[in-house]
Amino acid sequence: MKMTHPNQLRKAALLGILLFLSWGLSAQTAKQNLAKFDYRPYHFGFLLSGNTSSFNFSLRPDFTFADSLLSVENNSLAGFNLALLASANVNPVVHVRFIPGLSFQDRSLLFRFRANDGTTESINVRTESVYLDFPLIIKLRTERIGNFAPYALLGGKLSRDMQSQEDVNQSLQDGYILKLARGNSSIDIGAGADFFLPFFKLSVEMKTEFGMRNVLIQDDTPFSAAFDQLRTRSFIISFTFEG
């Protein structure tokens, strides 16, 4: 899937968040929208997100001797997320959120090998994942400042890659692939801000997901043999709509 360059995505997101923050601060003295929203026991919504994803990896100490491999370069690629939200309000500033959804994540690794004639050969290996996510997040928020309130996020997530090639037989492929495990888990850390509009609440947030499981399937191909561990990592910009 072809997406906006990750750096452009981050710059646009940061600019949008700054504009929202300036709007929120300027609206502190305005009429309070959705005055009873925080006192509901629960509410629902949905999320639209953009992500940039890469790997956090460690190489074997002797990786340079594996099939004349010289180096491995990690490159981030852009993707997107779609999710539903169910939020239980412990009190106006503490919320427990369940956010099941789909996450489309692409990653790229550039391998450089020494060819038999002494030249360098570069091979780009791209992995495409469609995760079914089950996150449980604790949201810690300040008291409302008019129609604005910043917050922090901390939680964990279980994921299943619906596009995993874990069971693919390498001998039947035209070329080697980098196989990743179907199951994954991660820690999510982030921050954002709530904006109380007349008819719904809009939230803008940024978070980072740190994969906890080694998802590498070691089948001693020229690509997998270099790695000791391979974990996922994603940076996510989300827009949440709650009613």
Phi and psi at 65, nearest 5°, equal: -95, -5
Q: Name which of 56, 63, 55 is nearest 225 in CA terms.
A: 63
Residue, of 173 and 111, whose pLDDT is higher: 111
- Is the pLDDT reported for residue 132 higher than 90? yes
pTM of the model: 0.82
Structurally, at CATH architecture level, domain 6-242 sits in Beta Barrel (2.40)
Burial category of 193 from C-beta neighbours within 10 Å (exposed 0-12, middle 13-18, buried 19 and up): buried
Phi and psi at 13, nearest 5°, equal: -65, -45
Q: If you ran DSSP here, which 8-state letter would residue 39 be given?
A: G
Residue-wise pLDDT tens digits, 52-100 = 999 999 988 876 555 688 889 999 999 999 999 999 999 999 999 999 9
Residue-wise pLDDT tens digits, 91-103 = 999 999 999 999 9
